[in-house]
Structure 1
Amino acid sequence: MTPGPGPEGRSGPEPWTGAGVVLRAFEWSDEPDLAEVFADPEIVTWNPGPPEGALAFMRERNDWSAGTHASWAVADAGAGPGPAGRLLGSVSLHKIDRDQGDAEVGYWVAPWARRRGVGAAAAAAAAAYGFERLGLHRAYLFHAVENTASCAVARRAGFALEGTLRQSFRYADGRHHDEHLHARLVTDD
């Protein structure tokens, strides 16, 4: 087994592309955008920012050496409005389990990139990376039932709704919320 999730023990993000997005390492120039993202009420509700700040977040996401996650900044591939390469979101494969051949997908989309298909493209690209580069069989994700935008992203990215988990995760409001479980298999279209 290789020490990291990438090929031959990769210690940092391997660039990857999806429909209109590029998955890349976080860059120092992303720090102002991250500060804005981590102050956004929608992000804070479902994906609170790290207490250590943007720089620690970038270092953690760019360090793949433990082999437990593959994380990327989501950037504009140049097809849409805005400068090519601008930070649009984040996507990760967490809890990579090579024995079971699965991983959890997590994502968020910056306020300036919403309703453009960025989240679905990023989630689909991360799943494709897991299937093609890591040999995964299944990618799954969870979201609070109330987070209808995330449900739409998951479905557009090809993640089938499998069920509802009752009071399965405590979010920033301190309450345990019901969550939807979505999954995508390597054999899915």
Structure 2
Amino acid sequence: MSATGAARAPEPWSGPGVVLRAFEWSDEADLAEAFTDPAVATWNPGPAEGALAFMRERNDWSAGTHASWAVTETAAGPAGSGRLLGSVSLHKIDRDQGDAEVGYWVAPWARGRRLGAAAAAAAAAYGFERLGLHRVYLFHAVENPASCAVARRAGFLLEGTLRQSFRYPDGRHHDEHLHARLVTDR
């Protein structure tokens, strides 16, 4: 742990049905494939410098501003193994305010198994238990009902709609839903 109390490198974490682990070199091909998927690419800016740069950035927690993981299933074997099924991050960690934003995506070969909700809930639990956060929130484009379903399944309550609040990879500002969980919601 660093002086801020945050880990400097990915700390494995798990939740019901998922293991959150560091990105591994063996994930490179799966990452490259996932970022070409229209559902991922539409709502998530892909890594401009490629999969390896993405993994290096996500595995470097030293700034204390994010905690990011590769998502695998617990059924895949011991923690730290298994095919990459998605990604989840706590970012914009604000220790003074006790909050962070969660972001996630699920690879096309893993959809329909509720892994996104399990990963988002596990990341929120990490924020509450390991970082002492009070609130974890997320945004998604209103036109992305799958992400809304993930948020609701993960226990994030809908708080409202923000008008044209974020410019997505298509270059347009989209309306977004704001969802949040409080440490007391568990």
Scaled by the length of structure 2, the TM-score of the pair is 0.95
Contact 1:3 1:67 in 2 (8 A): no
Contact kept in structure 2, 1:20 and 1:77, CA below 8 Å: yes
Task: Pick one of 120, 124, 132 that aligns with 1:123.
Answer: 120
The match for 1:40 among 37, 41, 57 is 37
Aligned mates of 1:5, 1:108 — CA distance in 2: 27
CA–CA distance in structure 2, aligned partners of residues 25 and 142 of structure 1: 24
The question of whether the paired residues in 2 share the 8 Å contact of 1:4 and 1:68 is answered with no
- Retained in 1: the 8 A contact 2:76–2:82? no
- Could you list the per-position Cα deviations for residues 4-44 of structure 1 after superposition, in whole angstroms to 9, with x for gaps in the alignment? 563xxx21100000111100000000001001001101111
Aligned with residue 137 of structure 2, among 131, 137, 140: 140
Please identify runs of 4+ aligned residues in structure 1 that moved more than 3 A. 1-5
1:134-180: CA deviation from partner (whole Å, max 9, x where unpaired): 00000000000000000000000000000000000011111100000
Aligned partners of 1:59, 1:48: CA distance in 2, in Å?
16
Kindly report the root-mean-square deviation, in angstroms, between the aligned alpha carbons of the 2 structures: 1.5
Unaligned runs of 5+ in 2: none
Which secondary structure state, in structure 2, belongs to the residue aligned with residue 178 of structure 1?
strand
Native 8 Å contact 2:160 2:177 kept in 1 = yes
Residue 48 of structure 1, CA deviation: 2.3
Find the aligned partners of 1:142 and 1:21 in 2 and give their Cα distance.
22
Normalised by the size of structure 1, how large is the TM-score?
Answer: 0.93
Identity across aligned pairs (percent)? 84
Contact 1:4 1:66 in 2 (8 A): no
Count the aligned residue pairs: 183
| Secondary structure, aligned partner of 2:184 | coil
The equivalent position to 2:168 in structure 1, one of 165, 168, 171, is: 171
Unmatched 5+ residue regions in structure 1? none
Q: Distance in 1 between matches of 2:156 and 2:185?
A: 9
